[in-house]
Structure 1
Amino acid sequence: MEREQLIERKIGERMRRRRVELGLTQEQVGQVIGVSYQQIQKFERGANRVSAARLILIAERLRTDIDWLCGTSDTHPPPGGRITRDAWADRTPDAAIQAERAALDLVRQFAQIDQGSVRSALGGLVRAVVERRSSARRV
């Protein structure tokens, strides 16, 4: 088997492993990165090549890094931060892209704040909002 095919197979195996760890379906991952579940199946089998841009999206969505996904690192990403199926089901590709753009814009603006106390206060505010939302869901 050619080296390229071995690499594609390794990427596919690790994609599947990580997707299963996170409790996601092929359809959910495909929907968020903008491909069909059939394409995810082909990626996972190593039947189709994953473009560099798509590989970056997949690594981001599966909360891992490209080195591990490609098999150049054996340091496995921690399984923490489990994504719920509902959180993925509600995200269309357009909504996911808009959310990413907004998050990147927020990070850029946050980085421009010179005062550490202001950055710390804003971080505390965000944590409080997230915790309050999480506790409201449990009720």
Structure 2
Amino acid sequence: MATDIDLHLGRRLRRRRRLLGLTQQQLATQVGIRFQQIQKYECGANRISAARLWQLAEALESPVSYFYDGLEEVMDRSGSAGPGGEVFSRKETLDLIQAFYQLDEQPRRRLLDLAKSLHGDGPAA
């Protein structure tokens, strides 16, 4: 049975992999395992060992601590994920983030200003 920690690590793994635009197969190949193992990690069915977490962090160009970010809040909520936490797991959110960071700085600022004005959060910066 998956623990809250296993589920959190799996969600962070999936989020980072998708943010980088990698498939489960591509990530698995980089760390020398089968893609099914990545699936099991991501859904919390299998625990990620310390050595494997290190390999995954290296392959995903992130510190090991990335996987634990936000864990304290998850544990405080007894594992109940709020709607905001799942927003970043959606494919369209990740596609938008990737497209945003492919823009140069000036178009990024203009797009951010546009989004803020559409939302009505006040004057654009």
TM range (shorter): 0.5 to 0.7
Equivalent residue letter for 1:12: G
Q: Could you tell me which residue of structure 1 aligns to residue 43 of structure 2?
A: 45
Q: Could you tell me which residue of structure 1 aligns to residue 56 of structure 2?
A: 58
Residue deviations 1:23-69 (CA, integer Å, cap 9, x gap) = 00000000110111100000000100111100000011111111121
From 29, 32, 43, the counterpart of 2:30: 32
Secondary structure at the residue paired with 1:23? coil
Equivalent residue letter for 1:16: R
Q: Could you tell me which residue of structure 1 aligns to residue 75 of structure 2?
A: none
Contact 1:11–1:70 under 8 Å retained in 2: yes
Q: Could you tell me which residue of structure 1 aligns to residue 7 of structure 2?
A: 9
Displaced runs of 4+ in structure 1, greater than 2 A?
Answer: 70-74
From the CA coordinates, give the structure whose radius of gyration is larger: 1
Distance between the aligned counterparts of 1:72 and 1:53, measured in 2? 21
Distance between the aligned counterparts of 2:68 and 2:32, measured in 1? 21
- Report the RMSD for the aligned CA atoms in angstroms: 2.4
The TM-score with structure 2 as length reference comes to 0.53
Equivalent residue letter for 2:54: I
Q: Could you tell me which residue of structure 2 aligns to residue 122 of structure 1?
A: none
Distance between the aligned counterparts of 1:63 and 1:10, measured in 2? 19
- Once the 2 structures are TM-superposed, how far is the Cα of residue 14 of structure 1 from its aligned partner? 0.4
Query: What does residue range 78-89 of structure 1 map to in structure 2 within 5 Å?
Result: none
Equivalent residue letter for 1:27: Q
Identity among equivalent pairs (%): 45
The TM-score with structure 1 as length reference comes to 0.48
Distance between the aligned counterparts of 1:47 and 1:71, measured in 2? 20
Number of residue-to-residue matches in the alignment: 74
- Once the 2 structures are TM-superposed, how far is the Cα of residue 71 of structure 1 from its aligned partner? 3.0
